[in-house]
Amino acid sequence: MTAPLIHPTAIVDPAARLHPSVQVGPYSIVGADVEIGEGSWIGPHVVLTGPMRIGKHNKIYQFASVGELSQDLTAKPDQPTSTVIGDHNIIREYVTIQRGTMKEHETKRGETRVGDHNLIMAYCHIAHDCWVGNHTIFANNTSLAGHVHIGNHVVMGGFTLVYQFMKLGDHAFTAYCSAITGDVPPFVTVSGSPAEPRIVNKEGLKRRGFTADDIDRIEDAFKLIYRSNKVMAEVKAELAEMAKGSAHVQQMLDFINASRRLAR
Catalytic (active-site) positions: 128-129, 146
Cross-strand bridge partners of residue 35: 17, 53
Cβ atoms of 24 and 8 within 8 Å: the answer is no
- In the 3-class helix/strand/coil scheme, how is the chain assigned residue by residue? CCCCEECCCCEECCCCEECCCCEECCCCEECCCEEECCCCEECCCCEECCCEEECCCCEECCCCEEEECCCCCCCCCCCCCEEEECCCCEECCCCEEECCCHHHHHHHCCEEEECCCCEECCCCEECCCCEECCCCEECCCCEECCCCEECCCCEECCCCEECCCCEECCCCEECCCCEECCEECCCEEEEECCEEEEEECHHHHHHCCCCHHHHHHHHHHHHHHHHCCCCHHHHHHHHHHHHHHCHHHHHHHHHHHHCCCECC
- Angstrom distance (rounded) from CA 115 to CA 68: 18
